[in-house]
Amino acid sequence: MISASGLAAQFTELVLAMLLAPLLTGWVNQCRAWLQSRSAPPILQPYYVLAKLFRKDVVLAHNASPLFRVAPYLILGVIALAAAVVPTLGTDLPMNAAADAIALVGLLAMARLFIALAAMDVGTAFGSLGARREMLVGFLAEPALLMVLFTASLISNSTSLATIVETLAHKELVIYPSMAFAGVAFTMVSLAENARIPVDNPATHLELTMIHEAMLLEYSGRHLALMEWAASLKLFVYSGIGLALFFPWGVAGGGDALGIVLALPVLILKLAIGGVLLALIEMLSAKMRIFRAPEFLGIAFLLGVLSMLLHVLLER
């Protein structure tokens, strides 16, 4: 039986994820500007952009199908569901029972499928180009992400993210060499999945180098706002997965209100540190050619496999 307090805690976690996601994007953009000695945009700039887009009218192509209109809502909804199952504040919430590693990867793959179909729906060259590149990146990134999640599941003997967090956070401090390799692989996958340098550049509008932005060229108004919000929420989800796997300390063991409140400042601190590290990685990296992306993600997959082998051979 799901209690009212559990539902309230779960709703709080989801609302906080959706509200903090644009703030995380603004923080990363601000840190990257500082590191590049540029004038930094306001940290609340993503909120201003979303508010402006929600006020604008939607302009649709004459041959846009109902899928093109519904896709932004579906994508945001699917990624919001993924954010709800990732234990960022507590491990005893109603949705944690569905927080299976394989199901989580499936949700992220479903969002990718919708955005790729919507990009190809109108039939523009750039939309189709971006959709093909997005599916290429996803085809290579998903196996690497599964290897990372399976490494953590071997340590906790469960594919549930809540169980993984509880196991790693409340066990005595142990150095796992396998998790070091898994951490590098997860970082590479996160950069690719969130359209960050070196795989993609979220700030570019050069048609021949775009991946994510190429799929949004036909969207406007509230539809574009939902897509941008979904992109920020996806970055938050991957940040939450990384914190759950590699820095699980500070997550509340129960679903009580006090534990959620105490876990919130810890989460914000970890996200702030992660945003600085992401901006630093982007500043020190150069945008690679799209033909090098398979090599990049292939290395991530091999590191994920190596992390599993290290656990089986050395840590059992």
The DSSP result for 155-173, as a single string, is HHT-SBHHHHHHHHHHSPP
Q: Are 260 and 90 in contact (CB under 8 A)?
A: yes
pLDDT in tens, the chain (316 residues): 566 666 777 888 899 999 999 999 999 999 999 998 888 889 999 999 999 999 999 998 888 899 999 999 999 999 999 998 888 888 777 777 777 888 899 999 999 999 999 999 988 888 888 899 899 999 999 999 999 999 999 888 888 888 888 888 777 667 788 899 999 999 999 999 998 888 888 776 666 667 888 888 889 999 999 999 999 999 999 999 999 899 988 887 765 667 778 888 999 999 999 999 999 999 898 888 888 889 999 999 999 999 999 988 877 6
**SS3 call for 300:** helix
> What amino acid occupies position 312?
V
Query: 311 pairs with which residues across the strands?
Result: none
Query: 100 pairs with which residues across the strands?
Result: 160
What is the per-residue pLDDT for 225? 95
100 secondary structure, DSSP code: B
Q: What distance in Å separates the CA atoms of residue 191 and residue 256, rounded to the nearest whole number? A: 34
**SS3 call for 264:** helix
Token digits of residue 261? 């409140």
Question: CA distances (Å), 5 to each of 31, 80, 94, in order?
Answer: 37, 20, 10
Q: Are 96 and 162 in contact (CB under 8 A)?
A: yes
CA 9 from chain centre, in angstroms, equals 22
Query: 160 pairs with which residues across the strands?
Result: 100
Q: Are 181 and 314 in contact (CB under 8 A)?
A: no
What is the per-residue pLDDT for 227? 94
What is the per-residue pLDDT for 128? 87
Q: What distance in Å separates the CA atoms of residue 76 and residue 81, rounded to the nearest whole number? A: 9
What is the per-residue pLDDT for 50? 95
What crossing angle do the helices spanning 101-121 and 161-170 adopt, rounded to 10°? 130
Look-up of token digits 């939902």 = 226
Look-up of token digits 């967090």 = 165
**SS3 call for 252:** strand
Token digits of residue 291? 């033909």
Q: For the chain, how long is the longest CA-to-CA vector?
A: 61
Q: What distance in Å separates the CA atoms of residue 177 and residue 182, rounded to the nearest whole number? A: 9
CA 53 from chain centre, in angstroms, equals 22
**SS3 call for 89:** coil
Look-up of token digits 């609340």 = 44
| Helix ranges (DSSP H) in 36-59 | 45-55
What is the per-residue pLDDT for 255? 57
